[in-house]
């Protein structure tokens, strides 16, 4: 077992920044126009992630991004979310250098990993999610650039 101090260093190395804030929306086109007005800029990409049954669009805001997400199927996590809650912040994604090492570290810290094997996310990323019940009610996503 590495000394706690050393783990803390690895943690700094890994959770490098907020990669994006994910926002669940009902109508991507409508919300693209709303966020373009809000942010004073258009989204820089749209992308459908079939594996997650979501259509996404991304706005660059300094070092981080806003990710708008619309369900592409009623079994989408976004559809289930919107069936219970109104539109709004859905998750916070962190950029990590080594997603597998971070999964191991977080498992050791007692967090609930939803998919230990990273899956293909949007915007050229490998992604892992942590269950909100282990993170004070916030759905957390880890992203590693491919």
Ligand X SMILES: CC[C@H](C(=O)O)C(=O)SCCNC(=O)CCNC(=O)[C@H](O)C(C)(C)COP(=O)(O)OP(=O)(O)OC[C@H]1O[C@@H](n2cnc3c(N)ncnc32)[C@H](O)[C@@H]1OP(=O)(O)O
Strand spans (E) along the chain? 17-24, 45-49, 54-61, 64-71, 88-95, 119-120, 125-130, 140-145
Q: Pick from ligand X, Co ion, none: which does 69 bind, CB < 5 to 8 A by kind?
A: ligand X
**Residue 132 is a binding residue for ligand X (CB under 6 A):** yes
Binding residue for ligand X (CB under 6 A) from 81, 99, 103, 118?
Answer: 81
Q: Among 15, 28, 55, 93, which residue sits at the site for Co ion (rule: CB under 5 A)?
A: 93
- Does residue 90 interact with ligand X by CB under 6 A? yes
* Residue 105 and residue 7 in contact, taking contact as beta carbons nearer than 8 Å: yes
Q: How far apart are CA 103 and CA 144, in angstroms?
A: 11
- Residue 131 binds which one of Co ion, ligand X, none, with CB within 5 to 8 A depending on kind? ligand X
Question: In this structure, what are the phi and psi dihedrals at residue 99, rounded to the nearest 5 degrees?
Answer: -65, -35
Which residues make up the interface to Co ion (CB under 5 A)?
Answer: 22, 67, 93, 141
């Amino acid at each position: 077992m590495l000394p706690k101090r050393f783990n803390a260093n690895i943690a700094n190395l890994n959770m490098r920044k907020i990669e994006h804030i994910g926002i669940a929306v009902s109508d991507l086109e409508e919300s693209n126009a709303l966020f373009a007005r809000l942010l004073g800029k258009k989204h820089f990409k749209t992308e459908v992630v079939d594996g997650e049954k979501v259509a996404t669009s991304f706005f660059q805001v300094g070092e981080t991004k806003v990710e708008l997400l619309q369900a592409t199927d009623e079994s989408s996590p976004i559809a289930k979310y919107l069936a219970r809650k109104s539109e709004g912040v859905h998750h916070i994604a962190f950029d990590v250098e080594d997603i597998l090492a971070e999964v191991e570290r977080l498992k050791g810290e007692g967090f609930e990993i939803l998919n230990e094997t990273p899956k293909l996310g949007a915007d050229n990323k490998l992604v892992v999610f942590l269950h909100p019940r282990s993170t004070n009610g916030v759905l957390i996503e880890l992203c590693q650039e491919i």
